[in-house]
Amino acid sequence: MKPLTYQNVPNEFVTSKKNTQFAYRILGQDNNKTLLLLTHLAATMDNWDPKLINTLSEKYRVIVFDNKGVGLSKGKVPNTIEEMAEGVLEFIDAMQLNAINVLGLSMGGMVAQELVKIASEKIDKLILVGTGPRGGEGIEKIIPIANKLTFKSILHAKDPKYYLFFNQDDIGKTKATEYLKRLKERKINRDKKITLPAYIKQLKAIEKWGNANREALTYIDMPTLIVNGDNDKMVPTQNSFVLADDISYSEIKIYQNAGHGSLFQEPIDFCKSVNEFIGE
């Protein structure tokens, strides 16, 4: 029997008290600390880098899942970041999770900030990657930026993430190609892609978040690791410094010559940083 990896771990399903069926994957030893991953715009479980997940699962029980109404999960796609957080809590309760560490990437980092408001007692440590605060600089421009780079990807027959996540220098192009190749390593039981209506709802939710008034993040009182590249085109990097300034118990790591997908550009180094942050 082959050892379980992110390339072959089965899809599983759980139904919440609100009768929403969530699809998820779980990898790692049951007695390890739990690390719940909240994903980026337009993503399903298949958008997590196998190299990243396999490395994290050596130390943690890693759980990834599809948001409500996305991929293999059922239910109505939320209209706001706040509603997405409620959906995450619905999944957490269905899985009977407590004392978890939460990693939120991009949109997932915005959702994680809202999740702290309604479920702080369930979260030990927080990791915010390529994200920003409500009303953060440039976040409201998500729709034109995403549309421009997606159109460029169509013209050049590339995956949009090639342009959205990585710098377009030699290093960035190489790292993007390697990452996108890894995403295809799972051959069976793949997820469903996000639908266009769901994608548009998520885009508008992020736009609303970006246009909202700033608020103090003093309510985030757990240790928080903030990570980004120095050239994030999706959520401008200066937002990571705002998070670090606002969150009392925070530390920040900025990857040089990296963009929105810094954790996929440097997955091994990123995992080392996570290990140092969460600890044994």
The domain segmentation of the chain, as residue ranges, is 12-278
Mean pLDDT of 102-128: 98
Mean pLDDT, the chain, rounded, equals: 96
Predicted confidence (pLDDT) per residue in 149-187, tens digit: 887 888 777 888 998 999 999 999 999 999 999 999 999
Strands 12-15 and 21-27: antiparallel
The yes or no reply on domain 12-278 and CATH 3.90.1200.10 is: no
Report the pLDDT value the prediction gives residue 90, as an integer from 0 to 100. 98
Q: How confident is the model at residue 268, as a pLDDT?
A: 98
Q: Looking at the predicted structure, is the pLDDT value of residue 5 above 70?
A: yes
Residue 143 pLDDT grade (very low, low, confident, very high; cuts 50, 70, 90)? confident
Q: What is the pLDDT of residues 182-225, one digit of tens each?
A: 999 999 999 999 999 999 999 999 999 999 999 989 999 999 99
Q: What is the mean pLDDT of residues 69-74?
A: 98
For residue 280, the model assigns a pLDDT of 59
Q: In this predicted structure, what is the pLDDT of residue 1?
A: 64
Q: What's residue 153's pLDDT?
A: 81
- The share of the chain scoring above pLDDT 70, in percent, equals 99
Look up residue 120 and give its DSSP letter.
Answer: G
- Please say whether the beta carbons of 270 and 263 come within 8 A: yes
Name residues whose C-beta falls within 8 Å of residue 111's C-beta, 6 or more positions apart in sequence: 38, 81, 84, 85, 88, 104
E-strand stretches of the chain: 12-15, 21-27, 33-38, 60-65, 100-105, 123-129, 224-229, 250-255
- As a residue count, the chain comes to 280
Structure tokens at 245: 């300034």
pLDDT, residue 155, reads: 79
Q: How confident is the model at residue 94 (pLDDT cuts 50, 70, 90)?
A: very high
What confidence tens digit (pLDDT) does each residue in 52-67 have?
Answer: 999 999 999 999 999 9
Tell me what the mean pLDDT of segment 131-144 comes to. 93
pLDDT given at position 74: 98
Instruction: Write 64-70 long-range contacts (CB < 8 A, 24+).
Output: 64/24, 64/25, 64/37, 64/39, 65/22, 65/23, 65/24, 65/25, 65/91, 66/22, 66/23, 66/24, 66/191, 67/39, 68/20, 68/22, 69/198, 70/44, 70/194, 70/198
